[in-house]
Amino acid sequence: MTTTLPGDRLLPSKDRVDVGRLELDGLTKTFASASGEVTAVDDVTLDVRPGEFITLLGPSGCGKTTTLRIVAGFETATAGHIRLDGASIDRLPPQRRTMAMVFQSYALFPHLTVGENIAYGLKLRRRGHDDIRTAMQIALTSMNLVGLENRSPHELSGGQQQRVALARALIMQPTVLLFDEPLSNLDAKLRGAMRAEIRRIQRRLGITSLYVTHDQDEAMSMSDRVVVMNKGRVEQVAAPAEIYFRPATVFVADFIGRANFVEVVPEQVDGGSATVNALGGRLRVAAHPAVRANAPAYLMIRPETISLAPAGDGGIGAVLRSTFHGHSVDYEVETISGTLHVTESGPDPNALIDIGTNVAITLSPDRSYVLDGG
C-alpha cells in the first residue's frame, strides 16, 4: 500500500513515468590554479530517464562530485546546460531546484531531535502542522525510525543517522534525489544493508536518483546504469553487466574489478568479433567497434573466467603465487605473455595447485573481450 500526502509527488513509479528526466548537455567546469586553468568536468553529457538510478563512478579527482554539485546548484558550470523535465534550471539557486541531497557527513543538526531534523525542510516551506506531522510519521515508518523521533542525532548509530538523512530528503518530495557518497562512513556490513534499503525505497517511489561513489560494489549492485568518469570526462555509460564484460576502454576494464590484458594483433575483425592468437590458442572473441585487423589490441580476460590444470612439462604457464581465501583462491601464473591473475571460486581443498606447478590455461572466449590498443 502506498500512502500519499496532500499534494504529494512521491508516487509509485507507474504514476511518475514522465517526472524526473534529467539532461546534462556539455557540462564543463574549470578552476583557476597557480599552474593555470584546471578542467574538473569536461564536456559531460548525460540523459537520465525518469525513475532511473544512475551512479557516477571513478577515482578521486575524476569530476564526479563536482558534476553532482553543479546539478544541485552548489557550483556553477563554466559551460553547458542542465534541464529537468525539459525546462532549463541553469539559473535556479539550489533551494528552487526540486531536488534533495543526502550528504556523506549526514549533515544533521545536533541541537534538533530526529523528528525535528526530518521535518526541518517542511517547516521552512511553512507547511501546516497537521501535514508536517503526517509526513513525519510516514517518513519515520518508512525508514524504520519509529520511537526514535525524540532522540538527538548523537544518540543514534551510523546507520540510523543515515536513515534520518534519507528521510529528511524524501519528505521534501523531490523530483530528483542526489547522493554524495552517503555510505562511506559506515562499516562494510552496514553498507551492504543500506545499499539494499536505499535501492528498495528508490524503486518503490520511482524517484530519479543520481549517486556518487568511488566504491565499485555500490555502483554495480545498485545502479540501472553506471557512468564511469576519468579526468573529468565520461569514459562509458552502460548497465553494470556491460561495464564489466564489455568495457569501452582499457581504463574502464582496469578500474572495474580486476582484469588481465594480453597484447594481441587481431587477424580478422568482422561482425563484432575478432580472431586472435593468445596463450597458445586461436580464439574468436567479441571485440569493441574501434578494434581493427592487423592493429595493436588487448585481449581482456577476467581472472574468474580462466581455468587452470596441472600439466607436467606440457603447460604454458607456471604458478608463481597462491593465496587462499576460503571461498576462493587466487593464483599468479607466469606465461610468455606476462603474469596472469586467476581466481578459482569454491576451490576443492584436495585439488589446490602448488607454487611452481606447470599448468595448462583454458580461456572462456564468451567472457573475454578485445579492446583497441590505441
Amino acid 17: pLDDT: 55
- Give yes or no for residue 202 having a pLDDT over 80: yes
Average pLDDT over the chain reads 89
Q: How far apart are CA 75 and CA 48, in angstroms?
A: 20
Task: Say what the pTM is.
Answer: 0.86
On the 0-12 / 13-18 / 19+ scale of CB atoms within 10 A, 51 is: buried
Q: From residue 99, give the alpha-carbon distance in Å to each of 71, 73, 170, 176, 210.
A: 9, 10, 10, 5, 10
For residue 216, which phi and psi values (nearest 5 degrees)? Answer: -65, -40
Please tell me the CATH code under which domain 259-372 is placed.
2.40.50.140
Amino acid 10: pLDDT: 37
Section 142-155 average pLDDT:
86
| Nearest partner of 288 among 226, 246, 256, judged by Cα | 246
C-alpha cell at 268: 580478422
- Give yes or no for residue 18 having a pLDDT over 60: yes
SS (H, E, C) the chain: CCCCCCCCCCCCHHHCCCCCCEEEEEEEEEEEECCEEEEEEEEEEEEECCCCEEEEECCCCCCHHHHHHHHHCCCCCCEEEEEECCEECCCCCHHHCCEEEECCCCCCCCCCCHHHHHHHHHHHCCCCHHHHHHHHHHHHHHCCCCCCCCCCHHHCCHHHHHHHHHHHHHCCCCCEEEEECCCCCCCHHHHHHHHHHHHHHHHHHCCEEEEEECCHHHHHHHCCEEEEEECCEEEEEECHHHHHHCCCCHHHHHHCCCCEEEEECCCEEECCEEEEEECCEEEEEEECCCCCCCCCEEEEECHHHCEEEECHHHCCEEEEEEEECCCEEEEEEEECCEEEEEEEECCCCCCCCCCCCEEEEECCHHHEEEEECC
Amino acid 5: pLDDT: 36
Residue pLDDT, tens place only, 292-330: 999 999 999 999 999 999 997 778 899 999 999 999 999
Neighbours of 159 (CB within 10 A): 18
Domain boundaries defined on the chain: 13-98+174-245, 259-372
Q: Please determine, looking at this structure, whether the domain spanning 13-98+174-245 carries the CATH number 3.40.50.300.
A: yes
Q: How far apart are CA 341 and CA 322, in angstroms?
A: 10
Residue pLDDT, tens place only, 63-111: 999 999 999 999 999 999 999 999 999 999 998 999 998 887 778 888 9
